[in-house]
């Protein structure tokens, strides 16, 4: 009964149809004209509902293959709302960054306990790549490594909402202007914390790793937004 009430109050006819597709293990959807007759709504209304579902990442529409239901991910909904919020007021990113900080801290133990030795090696590779970028003749910002290291730590957690929030944070990180050069001392300090986190994970000292995580998160709060002339081209 709860599912019926949820469908009636919050879900469009098209989304209800997607749920039935999930239950019947079917991914390919009929043409809009067929769906219109089946659902008892106009093609115009169905197109509107389809566009909402596509914006939420529930379906993809391609000219030759038609409409296909996609695996659920929370990221598209968060990303669109967050992008709008930042466009209205850039300070909204800091509010979201605070949420991300608490998510990573709360799920740290659950996440790192599931990492494999291969995962540990991959994290060490990310640290090494970042150090090479920071010590080379032409200093580079290890932004990709920064993103990849954090997401890899939480990659094995089976929670689409946590994953969607964290991925959306990193997608908006660049849009918020944080992938720019501040000073080398700051970047080196950040990666010293990252290296300590990875060393603690590999050693099974998850408590010390958690302390390093929370201390390094405070660096972002202290960081001042850089001026445009510091951007690497």
pLDDT tens digits, residue range 201-223?
999 999 999 999 999 888 766 65
List own/partner pairs for 155-159 with CB under 8 A and 24 or more apart: 155/119, 156/111, 156/114, 156/115, 156/119, 157/107, 157/110, 157/111, 157/114, 159/107
Structure tokens at 67: 């409409």
* Global confidence as pTM: 0.83
Span 2-69: which CATH code? 1.10.10.10
CA distance 85 to 82: 5
Which band of pLDDT confidence, cut at 50, 70 and 90, is reported for residue 7? low
More confident: 38 or 22:
38
pLDDT at 186: 85
- Tell me the pLDDT of the chain averaged across its residues: 87
Class of the domain covering 75-230: mainly alpha
Comparing 2-69 with 75-230, is the CATH topology the same?
no
Domain ranges within the chain, ordered by starting residue: 2-69, 75-230
Which band of pLDDT confidence, cut at 50, 70 and 90, is reported for residue 146? very high
- The closest of 51, 206, 173 to 101, measured between CA atoms, is 173
Contact between 52 and 42 under an 8 Å Cβ cutoff? The reply is no
pLDDT tens for 30-68 read 899 999 999 999 999 999 999 999 999 999 998 878 899
């Amino acid at each position: 009964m709860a599912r019926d009430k949820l469908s009636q109050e919050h879900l469009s006819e098209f989304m209800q149809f997607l749920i039935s597709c999930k239950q019947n293990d079917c991914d390919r959807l009929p043409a809009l004209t067929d769906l219109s007759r089946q659902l008892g709504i106009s093609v115009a209304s169905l197109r509107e509902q389809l566009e909402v579902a596509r914006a939420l990442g529930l379906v993809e529409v391609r000219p030759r293959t038609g409409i296909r239901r996609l695996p659920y991910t929370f990221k598209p909904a968060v990303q669109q709302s967050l992008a709008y919020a930042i466009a209205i007021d850039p300070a909204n990113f800091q509010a979201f960054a605070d949420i991300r900080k608490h998510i990573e801290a709360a799920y740290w133990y659950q996440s790192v306990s599931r990492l494999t030795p291969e995962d540990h090696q991959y994290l060490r590779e990310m640290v090494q790549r970042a150090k090479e970028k920071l010590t080379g003749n032409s200093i580079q910002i290890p932004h990709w490594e920064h993103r990849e290291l954090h997401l890899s730590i939480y990659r094995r957690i089976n929670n689409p909402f946590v994953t969607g929030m964290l991925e959306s944070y990193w997608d908006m990180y660049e849009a918020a202007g944080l992938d720019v050069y501040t000073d080398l001392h700051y970047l080196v300090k950040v990666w010293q914390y990252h290296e300590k986190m990875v060393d603690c994970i590999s050693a099974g000292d998850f408590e010390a790793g958690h302390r390093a995580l929370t201390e390094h998160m405070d660096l972002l709060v202290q960081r001042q937004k850089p001026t445009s002339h510091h951007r690497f081209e």
